[in-house]
Amino acid sequence: MNEQTVSKELKNLIRKLSKIGIAISREKNIDSILEMILNESIDITNSDGGTLYTVKEIDGQKYLIITFAKNYSIDFQFIGYKIPLDEKSIAGFVAKNAIPVTINNIQSVQNSHLQQFKFFDKASGYTTINVMAVPMIDYQGNVIGVLQVLNKKKSKEIKLTSENIFQSIVEYTKEDEEIVLSLASQASLLIERIHLYQRIEKNIANTRYALISLFNSMKQVIANLSEDILLEQEEFKKFATLDTLTGLFTRNEGMVYLEKQIQLSKMNESHFVVCFIDVDGLKGVNDTYGHQTGDELLKNFSQILKESIRSYDIAFRYGGDEFVVVLSKATLKEANIVFARIQDKINKFNISSSNTYKIDISYGFAEFSPESNFTAEDLIKIADENMYKMKKEKKVKKSCPS
């Protein structure tokens, strides 16, 4: 396979994984997320079919319930079927032990894990050659379901029959397992996000590890795809939730974006800068002129931010009078240029405005490089500490007039 073909396949895979992540992150219905994950897992591994089990407790006993199923060669009629959560089936074994299982030649394996497959195959007139099952695990480490695909085909277009099945099946790879496990993990996290909204700051970190492992040997090819990845990031921004007062991204969406920026910068081998901003004196404006005037100040400052950053940068409201700007493909030198422009616009606003207040800000930077191991929280903390240094310096200057 030549480099151009590999590049094209990697490019398509990156786009597909990114689009899946974007689609799932904006989906609010758990059943839609589960069905989407099953369909994409079948499609991305060239499988003939698959089943998604969810864990439910019935009369004090845990069962795996077939919630969604799909098969291109037969009509699978077992939706709602339940099996005990024990080691007498592959799905039960995976759920009980919280580990993935891949069997590439079921016909040669004789153990209790295959009892359920023999039942389904006999009932539906089907033959299972190979299977891969991965657990879906929530934040607390509990298995909430099992994602299972079977019969990986040489080509998606093949409809399996008893005559062609043995020559049409190929083995599942470790990369297949990593991708499906990553998709299952991603779905589990987002389901938890719906159940417990306060944990929304968590995102699809597992996808990063799968992608890094998959493309580690193709760093140069991936670097050439940076512009395509930036376009995918722009698509993410279209569906993000906005703060109702300022029109900027909310803290939750901003942190998800920042995590994604870390992943992409590692793949693209590029720098970016996080800027933490505090609007000085907002409490005084609120106390003196009222909260409506304070809100107006925040709106005008937010508009200045929007006009001062590039289309592929983002700004989000971190707290009441605190804001964060993420400058993609930037260093501290470039960040200082951007904030000189922001400060100039603030000065012009203060001079030309007839408002009773003046906008004043303190800010600090944190630069991310591909070789660093900073988390989103680390970058926010560093930028916040640098912001306080500026704030302290301003107070010293005020107390010691020249």
Residue 35 confidence class, pLDDT cut points 50, 70, 90: confident
- Asked if residues 135 and 95 have their Cβ atoms less than 8 Å apart, the reply is yes
CB count in 10 Å sphere of residue 293: 14
Give me the pLDDT at residue 197, please: 45
Mean pLDDT of 221-250: 66
Q: What's domain 3-198's architecture?
A: 2-Layer Sandwich (3.30)
What are the C-alpha distances in Å from 253 to residues 131, 171, 211, 240, 322?
37, 39, 22, 6, 15
Which position has the higher pLDDT, 225 or 252? 252
Instruction: Tell me: pLDDT of 198 over 50.
Output: no
Give me the pLDDT at residue 205, please: 44
Instruction: Tell me: pLDDT of 253 over 80.
Output: yes
pLDDT digits (tens, 9 = 90+) for 108-156: 666 655 556 677 878 888 888 889 999 988 877 888 889 999 999 998 8
- Asked if residues 203 and 260 have their Cβ atoms less than 8 Å apart, the reply is yes
pTM: 0.46
Instruction: Tell me: pLDDT of 338 over 50.
Output: yes
Fold of the CATH domain 225-399: Alpha-Beta Plaits (3.30.70)
- Asked if residues 303 and 259 have their Cβ atoms less than 8 Å apart, the reply is no
Q: What is the mean pLDDT of the chain?
A: 81
Give me the pLDDT at residue 326, please: 95
Give me the pLDDT at residue 267, please: 79
Enumerate residues 6+ apart whose C-beta is below 8 A from 254. 248, 314, 316, 317, 318, 324, 326
Furthest-apart CA atoms within the chain: distance in Å? 92
Instruction: Tell me: pLDDT of 9 over 80.
Output: no
Give the C-alpha separation, 45 to 222, whole Å: 21
Give me the pLDDT at residue 223, please: 47
From the CA atom positions of the chain, what is the Rg in Å?
26
Residue 201 confidence class, pLDDT cut points 50, 70, 90: very low
Cα angle vertex 208, ends 205, 213, to 5°? Answer: 140
Which position has the higher pLDDT, 234 or 105? 105
- Asked if residues 361 and 278 have their Cβ atoms less than 8 Å apart, the reply is yes
Give the C-alpha separation, 158 to 384, whole Å: 56
Give the C-alpha separation, 61 to 58, whole Å: 5
The residue with tokens 């998800």 is: 256
Q: Name 47's bridge partners.
A: 152
Instruction: Tell me: pLDDT of 5 over 50.
Output: no
Give me the pLDDT at residue 11, please: 55
Which position has the higher pLDDT, 2 or 392? 392
Q: Parse the chain into domains and list their residue ranges.
A: 3-198, 225-399
Q: Name 153's bridge partners.
A: 169
Mean pLDDT of 241-258: 89
CB count in 10 Å sphere of residue 35: 15
Residue 273 confidence class, pLDDT cut points 50, 70, 90: very high
